[in-house]
């Protein structure tokens, strides 16, 4: 064998040894103002461990990104002292993705993995499906930075609060009767005129009711929103001028008044009454599909999604609002969303299987001195490790239908 062939052979053997070992990634952090400050943020502590950087006690640490998206790329520490972008490294070593991933997505990592630390509510938003994502990216590339959809799974690391999907007909009826400010805001005389009369047609009518009320709320002026909130406060136990007819606050009303301190006079405060208020315990997960209205409110979570950063916002935000686009794209499915408890793989590991083909998530809580073998998967794996008091490991894997 010639000398050049021997060298190439040795380089290939070395490359294979590297590929067969976990590679350390240098990850990106996002310091959005809704993040948790300083050392109290799991994102801050993870990023500090990952990068060796100092934690600024006055800085918000909102998201840690692990993936190839250009808005927050990860870099590979190749053990030879060089840092290459994960996207570039995968393009040079595409076989790490596995045959099934390569066949379906080419040389692209199909998922983006994040850790979120939320102190202040995120916007009421939805993520476009693939068709709409392509159209939005083409027409407004500076706002919608890619052409992919963004189905996602949020796995709670702490107690976690969110708004997700539209409330049921039963809950809508209750809201319209107990929060008359909504009817006043949309110009109705009373709640009855908004509710379906014919039981046979109630689902179809409910969609129309939700669409009309939700859209009118989001398009209302700040003055009208302020008036509605003032009336709501006066009718509750927190109202300074509350009369003897004052009543106790519901959980949703407490939430709305709490959020008012974060987003004064925001139309999203009233719109929140039409969305399900979800509370996750640690270890529970929530799936959010394309075109589904939602907002993360408070807590810390692992979030995994298809590789995209497309967000259409309409409330609870100071950022750009694309209300008409959001109203045109929304799924109007009613009812409380499914809460995933996960499937036990062994005494330490739980698997969460969303109805999306890009990924699945394994969560492993490993005591000191214990060991575990993860099941093999036909794709790429991203692992975040942090030694919290419950020794929480999370793994995000690409799932195929094969």
Catalytic residues: 313
Q: What is the β-pairing status of strands 343-344 and 339-340?
A: unpaired
Those residues whose C-beta lies under 8 Å from the C-beta of residue 203, and which sit 6 or more positions away, are 169, 334
Strand partners, 60: 37
- Are the beta carbons of 259 and 309 closer than 8 angstroms? no
Q: Return d(Cα 261, Cα 316) in angstroms, integer.
A: 11
Q: Return d(Cα 385, Cα 363) in angstroms, integer.
A: 10
Cα dist. 82→86, 89, 242, 319 in Å? 12, 11, 66, 37
Strand partners, 154: 286, 303
Cα dist. 236→233, 254, 272, 275, 347 in Å? 5, 10, 18, 21, 47
- Are the beta carbons of 46 and 40 closer than 8 angstroms? no
Q: Return d(Cα 98, Cα 229) in angstroms, integer.
A: 54
- Are the beta carbons of 83 and 26 closer than 8 angstroms? yes
Q: Return d(Cα 276, Cα 160) in angstroms, integer.
A: 14
Smallest Cα–Cα separation from 125: which of 313, 300, 334? 313
First CA to last CA distance, the chain: 41
Helix orientation angle between 251-260 and 222-235, rounded to the nearest 10 degrees: 130
- Are the beta carbons of 164 and 297 closer than 8 angstroms? no
Secondary structure element (H or E) that encloses residue 278, with its range: strand 275-280
Q: Quick check: helix, strand or coil at residue 336?
A: coil
Q: Return d(Cα 268, Cα 2) in angstroms, integer.
A: 71
Q: Return d(Cα 246, Cα 228) in angstroms, integer.
A: 16
Look up residue 394 and give its two tokens: 């999370």
């Amino acid at each position: 064998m010639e000398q050049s062939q021997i060298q190439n052979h040795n380089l290939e053997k070395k490359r294979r040894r590297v590929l067969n070992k976990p590679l350390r990634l240098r990850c990106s952090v996002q310091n959005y103002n809704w993040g948790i400050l300083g050392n109290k943020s799991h994102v801050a502590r993870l990023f500090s461990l990952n990068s060796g950087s100092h934690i600024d006690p006055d800085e918000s640490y909102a998201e840690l990104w692990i993936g190839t998206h250009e808005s927050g790329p990860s870099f590979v520490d190749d053990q030879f002292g060089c840092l290459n972008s994960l996207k570039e490294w995968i393009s040079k070593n595409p076989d790490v993705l596995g045959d099934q991933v390569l066949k379906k997505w080419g040389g692209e990592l199909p998922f983006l993995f994040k850790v979120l630390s939320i102190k202040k509510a995120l916007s009421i938003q939805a993520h476009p499906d693939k068709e709409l994502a392509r159209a939005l990216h083409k027409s407004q590339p500076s706002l919608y930075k890619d052409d992919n959809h963004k189905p996602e799974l949020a796995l709670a690391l702490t107690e976690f609060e969110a708004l997700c999907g539209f409330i049921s007909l039963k809950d809508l009826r209750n809201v319209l009767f107990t929060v008359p400010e909504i009817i006043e805001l949309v110009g109705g005389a009373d709640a009855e005129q908004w509710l379906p009369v014919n039981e046979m047609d109630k689902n179809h009518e409910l969609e129309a009711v939700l669409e009309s009320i939700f859209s009118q709320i989001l398009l209302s002026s700040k003055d009208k929103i302020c008036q509605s909130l003032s009336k709501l406060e006066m009718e509750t136990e927190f109202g300074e001028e509350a009369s003897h007819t004052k009543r106790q606050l519901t959980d949703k009303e407490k939430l709305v008044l709490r959020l008012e301190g974060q987003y004064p006079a925001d139309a999203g405060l009233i719109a929140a009454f039409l969305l399900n208020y979800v509370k996750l315990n640690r270890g529970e997960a929530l799936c959010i599909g394309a075109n589904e209205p939602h907002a993360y409110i408070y807590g810390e979570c692992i979030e995994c999604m298809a590789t995209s950063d497309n967000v259409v916002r309409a409330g609870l935000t100071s950022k750009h609002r694309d209300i008409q686009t959001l109203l045109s794209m929304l799924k109007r499915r009613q009812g409380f969303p499914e809460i995933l408890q996960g499937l036990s793989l062994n005494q330490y590991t739980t698997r969460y299987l969303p109805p999306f083909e890009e990924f699945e998530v394994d969560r492993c809580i490993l005591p000191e001195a214990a060991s575990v073998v993860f099941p093999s998967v036909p794709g790429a794996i991203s692992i975040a490790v942090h030694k919290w008091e419950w020794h929480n490991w999370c793994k995000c894997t690409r799932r195929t239908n094969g």
